[in-house]
Structure 1
Amino acid sequence: MNDEQKSLIQQYFACTARLLDMEMIRSDKVLGDLAEWICVQSYGLELEASGRHPGYDGVIDNRKVQVKAHNSPKGTNLSVGNPEQYDELFVLIGPRSRLRVGPAGQSFHVYRFTSDQVDLRFRRASGYYCAKKTLAKEPYEVISIDQEPVCCQ
């Protein structure tokens, strides 16, 4: 391990500790927690007290909401849980995601689906999965994160 690699690891842990201190994340599931936090800030999501609540992550106007995030440049389909357990699904696609449709940049693309839409569009023999070609047909909102990063300078 070289000095730059050691420094990046130290910065990562310092940054995640700061995210915990600011209550932007609640666990070691950093991407999922950040996606939930973005939904809290942008859409008024009220998170369930437990980060392991079965079937959904929180509520908006008494509607159960499931939040999923993807930012892997290699990963393909995203499991979106069981739509029988929630009323609405938020899918946040990050800047590096292989599922990203549209221009690259420092933003999340936010897709919203009712549980009925998930049942119709994402059902597979092995469960419910969101794919890029499905997202290509859907509108999305953009949440910009274009400020220079603090943790990894």
Structure 2
Amino acid sequence: MEDHKKRLIEVDFPLRAVSEEAAREKNIRHGHISTLHIWWARRPLAASRATALAALIPDPGDPGERQKLLRLIAQLSSWDVVSGKASGGERLLEETRKLVSEANGSGPPRVLDPFAGGGSIPLEALRLGCETYALDYNP
């Protein structure tokens, strides 16, 4: 039987930092994708990005390495980092894409969101370098 290595999200998650960024993001009114089209159940991009990343990378097992990854996730949950307002944001995103790619073998990992709704999860998976598929049932 294949030995399954747990993903980081199964072991730990920087909930407080991500929640604070998600709450801050809800108050952004200019230059944010959520202002493009109103969707009644739109998920904050910070939370979608953080959970996607934590699900895509394995838990390192070592507490020190785990804390480094949790700090990375907390940093990446900031809108300023991914929007280019914070210095070093693009470099941090490139390093994260490389980390995701290395953690998932050859080629980009595939992410499917069968109930994409406002598209936050597929958008953030795409930003992390994944091959992304999104569907939704819209009556």
> TM-score, normalised to structure 2's length?
0.30
When you count strand as a share of all residues, which structure comes out higher? 1
When you count helix as a share of all residues, which structure comes out higher? 2
Q: Larger Rg: 1 or 2?
A: 1
> TM-score, normalised to structure 1's length?
0.28
**Which structure is richer in relative contact order (CA contacts within 8 A, separation 6 or more)?**
2
